[in-house]
Amino acid sequence: MSQPTKSDVHVNKPLTNISIAYLQDQTQYISAKVFPNVPVQKQSDVYFKYDKGEWHNANAKPRAPGTESAGTGYTLSNDTYFCKPFALHKDVPDQLRQNADQPLDMDRDATLITTRSILLTQEKDWMTNYFTTGVWGDDVDVSMGTQWSASGSTPISTLCTYVTKVEKNTGFKPNTLVISNDVWAAIRNNADFLDRISVTVDKIMTTDLLARLIEVERVFVSSAVENTAKEGLTASMNWLSSKGAMLCYAAPNPGLMAPSAGYTFSWSGLYGAGDNGLRTLKFRMQHLASDRVESEMAYDQKLVASDLGVFFHKCIA
């Protein structure tokens, strides 16, 4: 048999579309929203960074007749990205496919389970690397004062203080708050939150209300869960994040001169991949008498400007 075969070089467009639709529906996965997506054609490359201070100098000077204007300039530095591919497959045996009842769709199910696992991997990587201490311009240990789960604590006032601080230090006002699910449970029952809501409306605690109170555009609650038990054992479910919160500025429109706390570089140039770097292949595994459905996603989550973020840890007891 000639090599490669047609299935070796064919990306399955319908299955890729299922993956992309599923990705868009997964609201509990927030990493690519906090680090906005930047589709790239090359797996690795260089991107430029501008010096913050030079863009906030008031250097214009009066100009006398017949004289030159005052001059200015800016410094460029660079950094690199490398989109690492992550892949997972699910085999669909001929015997299983033949015996499946309607409305089961074996290819669709294989696509969804592999896609979900890749998205969970991406979310876990982001939480491990960026929803943590030692990364951002400020680390705030809430336990050094009154934790937000305690009576008399002031989470709203604290968050507002750091919104102002980041804007003062960078010229960009944080527009995004990320909070773990347990921290959100504490905030929505906190008097510092409740007492600021008008008594003329129902006190239904929403993230939109929290966003309005601290003057950010978006609040994301980290609700992704992971089964940490080995395959075949009783599931052991837990949150990916706990007791944490993060303020940051995430560029609404990622671009060459758009500052952002971070970006997700996605290798859209990989054959058959969408803007998020995701593609799905289906090919024959003859020696297994099975069809293989394989999802693959290539990305790099990059910290771009640490001073555009603040991390709060030990927020609750």
187-224 pLDDT, tens digit per residue, is 999 999 988 886 555 567 789 999 999 999 999 999 99
Distance CA 87, CA 256 (A): 29
Helices assigned H by DSSP within the chain: 13-25, 31-34, 94-99, 106-130, 155-170, 181-187, 191-194, 207-214
CATH of the domain at 293: 3.90.1690.10
Residue 64 has pLDDT above 90, yes or no: no
Report the predicted TM-score, pTM, of the whole model to 2 decimal places: 0.85
Residue type, 287: H
Is 214 in contact with 156 (CB distance < 8 Å)?
yes
Question: Mean per-residue pLDDT for 129-155?
Answer: 97
Whether 66 maps to a domain, the answer reads no
What does DSSP say about strands 309-313 and 138-141: parallel, antiparallel, or unpaired? parallel
Whether 71 maps to a domain, the answer reads no
**Closest to 142 in 3D by CA, of 197, 195, 180, 196:** 180
How buried is 1 (Cβ within 10 angstroms: 0-12 exposed, 13-18 middle, 19+ buried)?
exposed
Distance CA 190, CA 214 (A): 14
Query: Of 4-13, 42-51, 81-90, where does mean pLDDT reach its minimum?
Result: 4-13
Whether 208 maps to a domain, the answer reads yes
Whether 56 maps to a domain, the answer reads no
- At residue 108, the pLDDT reads 86
Residue 67 has pLDDT above 60, yes or no: yes
Domain range holding 192? 6-48+77-313
- At residue 121, the pLDDT reads 95
Distance CA 242, CA 185 (A): 11
Residue 90 has pLDDT above 80, yes or no: yes
Total domains, the chain: 1
* Residue 251 DSSP SS3: coil
Whether 69 maps to a domain, the answer reads no
Distance CA 118, CA 163 (A): 33
- At residue 59, the pLDDT reads 79
